A = this chain, B = another copy of it.
Amino acid sequence: MTTTVFPDRYRGMPVSQAGERATIEAITRVAPSAINGDDAAVLDPPNPNSLTVVTTDALVAGRHFRLDWSSAEDIGAKAVVQNAADIEAMGARPHALLLAMTLPGHTPLDFVTGVARGIRRRLDFYHMELVGGDVTMGDTLMLAMTATGRLTGPLPATRLDAAEAGQQILASGKLGWSAAGMALLEHFGPGDVPEEFLPLIGQHLSPEPAPGRGMVARAAGATAMTDNSDGLVHDLTVIAQRSRVRLDLDPHAIAPDDLLLRAARLLDRDPWEWVLTGGEDHTLLALSGSVPVTGFRVIGTCRRQGRYPVTVGGRVPRHTGGWESFGAV
């Protein structure tokens, strides 16, 4: 991490007063890149036969995060993870990042530095680089990120339409933790959540999926993959419909863990709702043969297309909703 200090005269200054140049510098000092700063960034030469993959995702204040819950670092870090997970879901290696950010004029420059710090922390994690961006003023704080990735070798990308009956359904991380964390924050407020549940809060505010899992799964034979950004059943339904299969989850393999059960008891909620409909864990969900894949566990079986796209132990799931970015705030 660079330790360049931003000039003291900017301390506590809002971006409208500091100006565009200082705001850009607040970011590029924390997350520098030799190829940033021209009209466009020229990416390193890829390996022979490697393909570039690209994805874009926006986070809007009040919709995707709450400024009274998330720190500036959390917001920057979460935006990177959300985009990198989409690259990983193709079986590719995240490579470069671009950031278009809209800021209300009263935003302190220190907040921008904090966002950049969160971005940088996650970028280092993935060995990525912030290669370009655009900052502009606007009424609402918004981060629109674009990530590029490298898909190397002869295997095809892991797509939504490439699941096959007979495969296993694999998962690489937590299911429902982010949703439980959000429910706890809504109930207690950010300062008063009982300490035992801090892992759930952390998962909601700044999930930290292990990097590189997507490449591992593709190399081990996974043909289809996505991440649970909108909800387990919701995201698997997309794979099931596009691949014309049924995805049958094993209720024992996805059963709520102890922490979810305790949180659910405390809030008088059904923990299965968090597991089945909670998104934003950015856990990779892969369809693969019977070879074990490092870092993944089996959570179900892919079957021939049936009446329902996703089932749990052969039955219709008890909860099937998911995140709708157009839902009421």
Q: Would you give the shortest CB distance from A54 to chain B, in whole angstroms? A: 5
CB of A149 within 8 A of CB of B45, answer no
* Residues of A25-53 contacting chain B, CB below 8 A: 37-46, 48-49, 51-53
CB of A149 within 8 A of CB of B40, answer yes
Does A138 count as interface, using CB distance less than 8 angstroms? Answer: yes
Q: How many angstroms between the C-alpha atoms of A146 and B44 in the bound complex?
A: 18
Q: Would you give the shortest CB distance from A84 to chain B, in whole angstroms? A: 10
CB of B16 within 8 A of CB of A326, answer yes
CB of B39 within 8 A of CB of A226, answer yes
Q: How many angstroms between the C-alpha atoms of A148 and B148 in the bound complex?
A: 10
Closest partner residue, chain B, to A162 (CB atom): B38
In the complex, chain B residues whose CB is within 8 Å of the CB of A180: none
In the complex, chain B residues whose CB is within 8 Å of the CB of A41: 53-55
Of A2-10, A93-101, A194-202, A257-265, the one with at least 4 CB within 8 A of chain B: A93-101
Please judge, given known A-B contacts A98-B56, A102-B142, whether A90 and B39 are in contact too, CB under 8 Å: yes
Could you write out 21 A-B pairs with CB less than 8 Å apart? A16-B326, A39-B55, A40-B54, A40-B87, A40-B90, A42-B51, A46-B46, A55-B98, A55-B132, A56-B133, A57-B100, A58-B102, A60-B102, A60-B136, A60-B138, A63-B136, A134-B144, A138-B142, A139-B139, A140-B140, A142-B144
